Structure 1
Amino acid sequence: MHLADFIAGSVGGAFGVAVGYPLDTVKVRIQTQRHYSSVWDCVRRLFRNEGMSGFYRGMSMPVTTVSVCSSLVFGTYRNVLHRLHALRDRRAGDAHHKADIFLAGFAGGVAQVSVMSPADIVKVRLQCQTEGLQNMRSDSKLKYRGPLHCVLSIARHEGVRGLYRGSAALALRDGPSFATYFLTYNTICDLLSAHDKHAEWTVILFAGGVSGMCGWAVGTPMDVIKARLQVDGMSGPRYRGFIHCITDSVKTEGPAVLFKGLSVNCIRAFPVNMTVFATYELVVRVLRTAS
């Protein structure tokens, strides 16, 4: 087992959340609420109605769980890649086959779904919770008082299965997205590192940012469907399931609806994944040097 990758992925994921959460809130609002005319309109109205704290609504759950999810992604990726490399009878110093990187990334993305799905639905619902915030009256009541109350409310009213609403879309988002993510990162590092043992930090930062953008370009359509299914239980179900959500969304809003939030995802992805990969590589190198 490559334990260093689990630890480094955990630390990198936590730093990534801290950097990208405000834009993630904007992205979720745009994908699930139809009254915003643009990204800037969403930012302006969110700040006016809820202040800076509105951009960080529901952040406590992702900070604690994304570390676990990121640990699973990077740890699974590295260990699957190692196994596939061994099956090809390649030596440790040989370059990894691109197909192996793609498959290992896919496995890493899917592996995190069981942990991420409950945390993600809590995050999305807290981010989209606006009742009681528009006028800030003393008698206004929020549906969810916090992450724990949100978890318990979903489990009580929608059953344990409710915590996994949208999990199929999440798996279809993260499998291809992380496969693209790791393949892009490794390809850029190989091209720009001149076959050095370790890529330069400027290469790592650039490759991390670009790989994040490419991953979200692939994953955004399923991200939209996932978010809509997750929010659907807040005020009565609109969608009968995964397929109905896709067909109804496209029918009522056109195919472009599947790329709602893509610009925000890409803008957010560059600094977030620069941070994730730089932190990951730093921690891995420290741990492996220490061992």
Structure 2
Amino acid sequence: MAEQSISDVLSGAFAGVCFRLFGHPFDTIKVRMIMGNKKKSIFRTGLNIYKKEGFKAYYKGMLSPILAEVPCNAVMFAVYEAVYRELCPYPYSNQAQFLPWLIAGGVSGVAYAMVVCPAEMIKCLLQMQIKNIDHELRSPLRCVMTLLQREGVRGLFKGLVATIIRDVPQNAAFFTTYEYTKYLFKQRNHSDDISFCQALVCGGLSGIACCLASYPLDVVKTQLQCEAALYKSQRKFRPVLLDGGVIMCTTHILQKNGIMGFFNGIQSCLIYYLIGCSAQFTGYYYAQQLFKQALPIY
């Protein structure tokens, strides 16, 4: 059992690095589209970033999440696999297990949100930087120091409630879609293995599913975290009870842009998750296969 946990942790860590390397440029475009005052297409937003800030701008804020993706994905995949094995007495049977997939995915979303929130906080602030402004928030270390000076440790966890609310349905859709498409391919292949291209398809479809399941909540979370660049007196979204500002932010988006305001930047997000999750789950699947051959755990 210890060997199985090690396999889950290391495979998850590798999957996280794959996800961030391939998906981050589209995440940067998504954040700019969400926070921009003018409605622009994904192409115009991406081109505008390149013209004004150069190619490196697509990878702004990548250091903190790529460092965080290792522990975050390790935790997410390890929690998912552990909960799934507890819920399903025969986890490697040839039958679809929808309820265990959904529950294990949702629980992994809570664990993931707790670990990833500070990294996403810093990522959002860095992605919103434009040349010659916001020198206090120019690097990950400066972001951390500035937030700690202004608000203490709580400043790093701004948007945590929104992150948890986003990640529970996101991960439930994420893992269920992946597991079911993988199950269908195995049935089609009459084998316990899937091909490289099939792994890419499983990952891509799971990415689209989790994006569609959680995008409006991601818009709320992004606006809450980007607002942390402002001093408290300048912020619009005040907490109501323990919601972390979710209610006020949701109301503001609805009043300003209507229901479509919750889908601003979704084109970039769909591409981000399609590419990122294809790389992520393919990396995870083949890392698991490697451990399957190297360790007597299956």
- TM-score, normalisation: structure 2: 0.90
- How far the C-alpha of 1:141 sits from its partner, in A, is 5.8
Spell out the pairing of 1:121-270 with structure 2 (5 A cutoff): 121-130=121-130, 133=131, 142-194=135-187, 195-235=190-230, 236-240=234-238, 241-270=245-274
Shift of 1:93: 3.6
Change in 2 beyond 3 A, CA 1:92/1:190: closer
Q: Is the 8 A contact 1:193 1:200 kept in 2?
A: no
The aligned amino acid for 2:235 is: P
2:18 alignment partner, SS class? helix
Residue 279 of structure 2 is matched in structure 1 by 275
Task: Note the aligned Cα RMSD (angstroms).
Answer: 1.6
- Cα separation, 2, equivalents of 1:260 and 1:175: 21
Native 8 Å contact 2:96 2:183 kept in 1: no
- What's 2:22 paired with? 19
Runs of 4+ in structure 1 deviating by more than 3 angstroms, as ranges, are: 90-96
Unmatched tracts of structure 2, length 5 or more: 239-244
> Does 2:56 correspond to 1:53?
yes
What is the distance in 2 between the residues matched to 1:123 and 1:280? 24
1:198 alignment partner, SS class: coil
Match of 2:36 in 1: 33
Q: Deviations 1:5-52 (Å, cap 9, x if unpaired)? A: 111010011011010111100001111221352222211221111111
Contact 1:220/1:261 (<8 A) preserved: no
Describe the SS at the equivalent of 1:270: helix
CA contact (8 A) 1:193 1:203 kept: no
CA contact (8 A) 1:21 1:55 kept: yes
Kept after mapping to 2: 8 A contact 1:5/1:74: yes
Alpha-carbon spacing, 1:203–1:107, altered in 2? closer, same or farther (3 Å): same
Segment drifting more, 187-196 vs 69-78: 187-196
Q: Does the 8 Å contact 2:85/2:91 carry over to 1? A: no
8 Å CA contact 1:129–1:143 kept in 2: the answer is no
8 Å CA contact retained: 2:96, 2:180: no
Is residue 85–residue 96 contact of structure 1 (8 Å, CA) maintained in 2?
A: no
Contact 2:207 2:274 survives alignment (8 Å): yes
Q: Give 5+ residue unaligned stretches, structure 1.
A: none
8 Å CA contact retained: 2:114, 2:164: no
Q: Does 1:102 align with 2:102?
A: yes
User: In 1, Cα distance between the equivalents of 2:210 and 2:134?
Assistant: 38
Once the two structures are TM-superposed, the CA of residue 239 in structure 1 deviates from its matched residue by 1.1
Residue equivalent to 2:291 = 287
Q: Quote the Cα distance in structure 2 between the aligned partners of 1:180 and 1:95.
A: 18
1:54 to partner: Cα distance: 1.0
| % identity of equivalent residues | 28
> For 1:185-210, what per-residue CA distance to the aligned partner results, in whole angstroms no more than 9, with x for missing partners?
11112222225212222221111101
Contact 2:28–2:127 (Cα < 8 Å) also in 1: yes
Deviation at 1:92, TM superposition (A): 5.2
Farther off after superposition, 97-106 or 36-45: 36-45
